[in-house]
Amino acid sequence: MIARTDATGSGGLAPEVLAFTTSLAEDRALVREDLLGSLAHVSMLGRQGIVPKADALALREALLELWDSHGRGALELPDEEDVHMAIETLLDRKLGEVSGKLHTARSRNDQIALDLRLYAREQVRLALGSLGRLLEALAERAQAERATLIPAYTHRQRAQAVSVGYLLCGYGMMFGRDVDLLAYVLESLDRSPLGVGAIAGIGLPTDRDLVRQWLGFSRLTENGLDTVGDRDFALDLSYAAARCQVHASRVAADMIDFASSEFGFVKLSDRIACGSSLMPQKKNPDLFELIRGKAGRSVGNLMQLFTILRGLPTGYQRDLQEDRASVLGAGPGMIAVLEALRTGLAEVVFDGARGRAIIEAEQMQAVDVAEGLVKAGLPFRRAYQAVGKAVAGLRAEGKGLAQVTKTHFPELSDAAVQAALAARDPIAAIERKESAGGTGPHSVEVQIASLKAKAAESRKRAEAIPGLEALMKGLKGVQP
């Protein structure tokens, strides 16, 4: 094993110890990041004269070959403690003693800090792209469903009527906040850690800023002791992923309910509905149930990372190796859920006829009738009580509030009654809600425009983040 000396113990680790301590299975997700960081590092070593130019060029060529091999799916990593040592072993097989110069002026501590930041940044880039596509799809669907009406719920009871366009805008607002949160995550990880060494810095004439530029970071970490133990950026990414998936879970919960016969507001297309292995009549919302279920895993990953970090002293500890499940799973899990949700919502058909029938048969415009009485001069609480009494009478008669008459308001003046009757139409009640953030047609148009703007912002942010392939293309042109 490479990371062993006579001082630490000559020879290899016991097989069972290596099996327990290795992180290679998880680290395979970091091969590109590790190769990219190593290429930037050795290019700097050659540029600074710390490693002879010929050796730096040989290492660069070997690293590029490994990158190409990985891209073809042909790279096989040897059994080692981690991805860093596995790659160095491959270089040793090819270059012999020259390979030992690659690790000059760095530690695995700052190396993994770099790999994780590169990985997290790439995941933010991809997630912002997915959010942009989802927001655009929600905006377009909201535009198409402005006239489709369904009940909205509070306390799981039918509360007020809204348009489906308004509902979809509500979903979009959640994901719009996720765009803002990912922008914060990007800010928190935008510091290059490479070059602080194991904990206290490097005594050779390195140039950390040169590596920073090549790898697309805007600034450097400022303290090596903090840098190697810092996983705040990982917590930020894990939290963002968990929150985003909780948002997706809430949308999925609506679709699961709405697709049931008890609600009946949506129909699932055959492209996304799953069947029962026993009951031939079932059309199950498995896609949405799994979206809801996967949110639990993302919250668990966040709690796992918090628990690992709680109580660790400063500097690097091997406990930090256990961050892999949380960090490496956060981005792909979030992206998979976002793409699945976008696919699922595109295959859902809203039943506007059922929604309208329920609205017209219910008393969901009760607030609007009370507001009519307020316009006629009644204090709100008196109007509230009067409408409540009228609704009780209508329910006893099996009628909706649209069928309210003067007889249901025996204590009110004729002017007040007329104001109440003028406000009883449930469809008109929806159209009147033009306050900012309401379900009125103009308000919904404003919200749709806001979603489209946030979708464009998300795509723009994604495009501004340097991707791994782009960084590698740039580094190929760097001369040591």
Catalytic residue annotation: 155, 276
Q: Which residue has the tokens 């002791």?
A: 225
Comparing C-alpha atoms, which of 14, 20, 22, 63 is closest to residue 39?
63
Please give the Cα distance from 197 to 218 (Å, whole number). Answer: 20
Please give the Cα distance from 4 to 16 (Å, whole number). Answer: 17
Beta-strand pair 191-192/219-220: parallel
Kindly give, in sequence order, each residue whose CB lies less than 8 Å from that of residue 280, ignoring residues fewer than 6 positions away: none
Q: Which residues pair with 153 in a beta bridge?
A: 158
CB–CB of 34/197 below 8 Å?
no
> Which helix (H) or strand (E) segment is 415 a member of?
helix 414-422
Q: Is the dihedral of CA 249, 250, 256, 259 positive or negative?
A: negative
State CA 273 to chain mean position distance: 24
3-state secondary structure of 156: coil
Which letter does DSSP use for residue 190 in this model? -
Please give the Cα distance from 444 to 170 (Å, whole number). Answer: 10
CB atoms within 10 A of CB 199: 18
CB–CB of 36/66 below 8 Å?
no
Please give the Cα distance from 179 to 124 (Å, whole number). Answer: 10
